[in-house]
Amino acid sequence: MKGILPESDVFAWPRGRVDVRSWDAAIDVVEQSLLGMAIANDVNDEQDFVLTEVFKECEKLRARKYLEVARTNHDLATKYGVARRTITNWRKGGCPFKDGQWAVLDWLAERRYAPAGAKVKFAKQLRERKEKAIWAGFNAEYEALIADARRLKAAHQDNGLKIPDWLRGFRAKR
């Protein structure tokens, strides 16, 4: 792969993962070889057809979009300022790493506590998210109580009972 990509673009990925840029670079090498064979050798129509079909197949194999590279526990631990074991536990606990940093911080703010490193690194964001989570809980509880009051008022009306004064301000849901 050296010589195809600039030295800064060559990555040493862990086993089992392929960088999309290196995939496309490998296809470029194959295509260049095909063109070199076609130019260097005097090819007949049948050989030209085969080389053309192989070239078209290479074009089909090109990456159409950049695939997400799964972050390792070590990468995530460094990013969030926690231990690798903590990342393993968070994965088991359903932390939404694939949804991005904001989703992870929302998830972390809903937890009872955050690890010290994450608290230090993301103190402001966690504080804001925790407040938003608390207010969201209050609002959900409020909406549930309003819905209960409306159902109660509707039940009074359906049964022909006198509506208590405290229920008069609510619109009945039917």
Residue 10's nearest CA partner among 23, 22, 28 is 22
Q: CB–CB of 135/158 below 8 Å?
A: no
In this structure, of 77-81, 106-110, 165-169, the range with the lowest mean pLDDT score is: 165-169
Residues 143 and 152: their CA atoms lie apart, in Å, by: 14
A 10 A CB-CB count for 107 gives 17
* Measured CA distances, 63 to 18, 22, 54, 69, 103 (Å): 11, 10, 17, 14, 28
Kindly report, residue by residue over 12-44, the tens digit of the pLDDT. Answer: 444 445 555 677 788 888 888 888 888 887 778
- Which amino acid type is present at position 134? I
Q: Strand, coil or helix: what is 41?
A: coil
CA angle, residues 78, 105, 131, in degrees to nearest 5: 140
One-letter amino acid at 20 equals: V
pTM over 0.85: no
Residue 62's region, left for phi above 0, alpha for psi from -120 to 50, else beta, is beta
Over residues 143-159, the pLDDT tens digits come to: 999 899 888 888 888 89
How far apart (Å, rounded) are the C-alpha atoms in residues 96 and 81?
Answer: 17
- pLDDT band at residue 69 under the 50/70/90 scheme: low
Task: Name which residue leads in pLDDT, 171 or 78.
Answer: 78
